[in-house]
A = this chain, B = another copy of it.
Amino acid sequence: MTTATTTDLYPTRGTAEVLTPRQDPVVWGAPGTTGPLRPSELGDFDRDGFLPVDALIGPEDVARYHAELERLCADPAVRADERSIVEAKSRDIRSVFEVHKISPVFAELVRDPRVVDRARQILGSDVYVHQSRINVKPGFGASGFYWHSDFETWHAEDGLPRMRAVSVSIALTENHDTNGGLMIMPGSHRTFLGCAGATPEDNYKKSLQMQDAGTPSHTALTELAGRHGIRLFTGQPGSAVWFDCNCMHGSGDNITPYPRSNVFIVFNSVENAAVEPFAAPVRRPEFIGARDFTPVR
């Protein structure tokens, strides 16, 4: 009899916080693989764990996607859908998950060669969408997201075995230095921070509004920030940030009148398809962690 076992390269949610050096490449594509990213850009991504792109999509695309975002947020059926997450205080829509399935317009964005070809190039294979969402951070007090590594959650709760996923956040409104933009600790993707504490069964419902289980300690964050610093991303609508699944990142609140809206797509390698969660009693719903591994074409 043969038993298939999955080795857990990245232990987390145990009794203590554990630092594990990254066991995986950052750029998976073979050197010289052609694609939209230049070798120097791949080098930057490898070193920093992220890569800003000035105008990934043009003004006409921005207008179209932004209009679609507004349409979705105003649609009572979308609001009532379990895939919509509302702001704790104001009850405004904060995120809509699985937008590439809800909206044919966003489905196109996922297939756009400017988008998916970059993901393929970084991950060195065909890719599928592990998660997609639009984020709306309304002005006048929307709260931020506390520090976390996405991979920590995707590994613990969704069962992604390896660090072979990449996210792209495309700005649909201007990201100022004042409206709660994305903050990343450059280079933090090289260390996996296994968090202390077990995962409650319905953790995802709470953690989409405010992070709790899987939260790094003050000590660990102080050390990581001391070693790596913190970079804040600003940019015009249409600009994007590609970032590795294991970057330590977060965002502050937004008291300005400027809403911060973006569309966020997570590509995972088809060779890294989700298995059972590594540190949670149940899988999260499929609109948060996909189980359909069909490659994007």
CB within 8 Å for A257 and B178 given contacts A141-B146, A146-B141, A252-B252? no
**Across-interface contacts of A141 in B (CB, < 8 A):** 146
CB within 8 Å for A255 and B252 given contacts A176-B230, A178-B232, A232-B178? yes
The answer, yes or no, to whether A33 is at the interface (CB within 8 Å) is no
Give residues 163-220 of A contacting B (CB, 8 Å).
176-178, 180, 183, 218
A interface residues, how many (CB within 8 angstroms) = 28
**Across-interface contacts of A251 in B (CB, < 8 A):** 255
Interface centre among A146, A178, A183, A221 (most CB of B within 10 A): A178
Docked pose: A144 CA to B254 CA in angstroms = 10
The answer, yes or no, to whether A258 is at the interface (CB within 8 Å) is yes
Docked pose: A254 CA to B146 CA in angstroms = 10
Docked pose: A144 CA to B178 CA in angstroms = 12
The 8 A CB mask of A217-242 against B (1 = contact, 0 = none) is 01001100110001010000000000
Q: Evaluate contact between B225 and A147: CB separation under 8 angstroms.
A: no
Taking the closest CB of chain B, its distance from the CB of A170, in whole angstroms, is 22
Number of copies: 2
The answer, yes or no, to whether A126 is at the interface (CB within 8 Å) is no
Docked pose: A252 CA to B176 CA in angstroms = 13
Interface of A is mostly: loop
The answer, yes or no, to whether A250 is at the interface (CB within 8 Å) is yes
Docked pose: A254 CA to B140 CA in angstroms = 16
The answer, yes or no, to whether A256 is at the interface (CB within 8 Å) is yes
Name the one of B140, B144, B147, B252 contacting A218, with C-beta atoms under 8 angstroms: B140
**Across-interface contacts of A230 in B (CB, < 8 A):** 176, 178, 256, 258
Name the one of B177, B250, B256, B257 contacting A177, with C-beta atoms under 8 angstroms: B177
The answer, yes or no, to whether A253 is at the interface (CB within 8 Å) is yes
Name the one of B147, B176, B254 contacting A255, with C-beta atoms under 8 angstroms: B147
Docked pose: A140 CA to B180 CA in angstroms = 15
**Across-interface contacts of A252 in B (CB, < 8 A):** 178, 180, 252-255
Q: Evaluate contact between A225 and B258: CB separation under 8 angstroms.
A: yes
Using a CB–CB distance below 8 Å, which chain A residues touch chain B? 139-141, 143-144, 146-147, 176-178, 180, 183, 218, 221-222, 225-226, 230, 232, 250-258
Given A222-B257, A250-B255, A252-B252, 18 more contacts at CB 8 Å? A139-B218, A140-B218, A143-B253, A144-B253, A147-B255, A176-B230, A177-B177, A177-B232, A178-B183, A178-B230, A178-B252, A180-B252, A183-B256, A221-B257, A225-B258, A252-B253, A252-B255, A253-B253
17 A/B residue pairs, CB under 8 Å, sorted by A: A139-B222, A140-B218, A140-B221, A144-B255, A147-B255, A177-B177, A177-B232, A178-B232, A178-B252, A180-B252, A218-B257, A222-B257, A225-B256, A226-B257, A250-B255, A252-B252, A253-B253
